[in-house]
Structure 1
């Protein structure tokens, strides 16, 4: 397993108690890949004689691969090892992703905002390094100082470790780092790390809660909102 580089990345001067960084989830938040994951999983299981239906989709969205694999093997009884199934699903997903993935509504504007305002930003995903690098390659120019992959931490989402790793690398205060997520497990991870969370649900519903702002789209997000969710915490 790769160890996350904890070398501190310099922060811009953001004021004594203001916004320090933005930590963005990838699948379903920044890029529209959740349907690719579902297509990879459902098509593979259909070929193996275990068709899945939409009732299972909300159970696999936004989770670490280990959890998804355990769930799918548990409900189907498929006689494959978790390692073998992981390889097959990842490969099918990579094949689907090879032509690029569309950005989620408002994502282009978010990337432009982070770049223009010089807000330190990181991509934090439960996906593996190979997949993150492919998405970033297809994105081209982007404002992310670094990315944290699910196979680079001991425990991935819903544990706080990926977000804590990003916060530590920035040398920041979690309460001053805004997490942007689309899935309940990712929201759980961000909140467990002590970060204010902006949720933009993609498949599974997410309810507002203290320290959590729920939007219908990234298009509703602006600099004032990013600053205000931090100000409410500190």
Structure 2
């Protein structure tokens, strides 16, 4: 029997598709220190997967005397500078799996809490038509861990989110996708996902195939 393909695969960006979390952490540290504050690695880990405007309130509490929109703009610009300087650092196996899904005609969406200009920079670096839909932090009213970003992606694709698979690297992202109803794959990067709502944890996407992704949807249906 042929395994049924997902209606779509929904991808997180930072830390899942591309290894840009370290760029964000460097930008955050520079921002807080420019106002005389101190920003630790543990502080940065606490914001992984969070929405930018929600994070802005944390930076304001840490002494950054700027409005939220300015904080988001400064952080985004600094990360974009690092992308321009160092290039796009892909997570192992991510680009290969994404391309395999496209070749198998599986619809895909990028679901990121970065702003659209940042997402566009990353998408432009992909040497094939990668996504049918892009949902960004400045296009939704509620950031991850709220389910809205993943529900919006499924709606834009015209598919049932329960027939979709989402790939994430953070508890906030997995909570968003799980609450929306998608099958969730957790791929740990900077933080543990042991307590996060994932249907499966994969140490890496390297050597993962379209069939591996499709089998997860089938397994959930079989256990229902």
Superposition TM-score, scaled by structure 1 size: 0.86
RMSD: 2.0
Which residue does 2:138 correspond to in 1? Answer: 151
Which residue does 1:7 correspond to in 2? Answer: none
Which runs of 5 or more structure 2 residues have no equivalent in the other structure? none
Q: Which moved more, 1:34-43 or 1:80-89?
A: 80-89
Q: Which moved more, 1:197-206 or 1:112-121?
A: 112-121
Q: 1:218 aligns with which of 205, 213, 216?
A: 205
Q: 1:192 aligns with which of 168, 176, 179?
A: 179
- Cα distance in 2 for residues equivalent to 1:80 and 1:54: 22
Which residue does 1:175 correspond to in 2? Answer: 162
- How far apart are residue 208 of structure 1 and its match? 6.5
Matches within 5 A, 1:59-74: 59-74=46-61
Query: Residues 162-191 of structure 1: CA distance to partner in whole angstroms, max 9, x if unpaired?
Result: 111111122212221000001110001000
Q: 1:93 aligns with which of 79, 82, 88?
A: 79
Which residue does 1:117 correspond to in 2? Answer: 104
Which runs of 5 or more structure 1 residues have no equivalent in the other structure? 1-13
Matches within 5 A, 1:25-174: 25-74=12-61, 76-99=62-85, 100-174=87-161
- How far apart are residue 209 of structure 1 and its match? 6.7
Runs of 4 or more, structure 1, over 4 Å off, are 208-211
- Cα distance in 1 for residues equivalent to 2:200 and 2:150: 18
Alignment coverage as a number of residue pairs: 219
- How far apart are residue 124 of structure 1 and its match? 0.9
Query: Residues 80-113 of structure 1: CA distance to partner in whole angstroms, max 9, x if unpaired?
Result: 3223222222221221122431111111221221
Give secondary structure in 1 for the equivalent of 2:77.
helix
Query: Residues 185-204 of structure 1: CA distance to partner in whole angstroms, max 9, x if unpaired?
Result: 00010001000100101111
- Cα distance in 2 for residues equivalent to 1:32 and 1:82: 25
Q: 2:193 aligns with which of 185, 197, 206?
A: 206
1:167 and 1:101, CA in 2 relative to 1: closer, same or farther beyond 3 A? same
Q: 1:229 aligns with which of 194, 216, 219?
A: 216
Contact 1:179/1:190, CA 8 A, preserved across alignment: yes
- Cα distance in 2 for residues equivalent to 1:173 and 1:211: 19
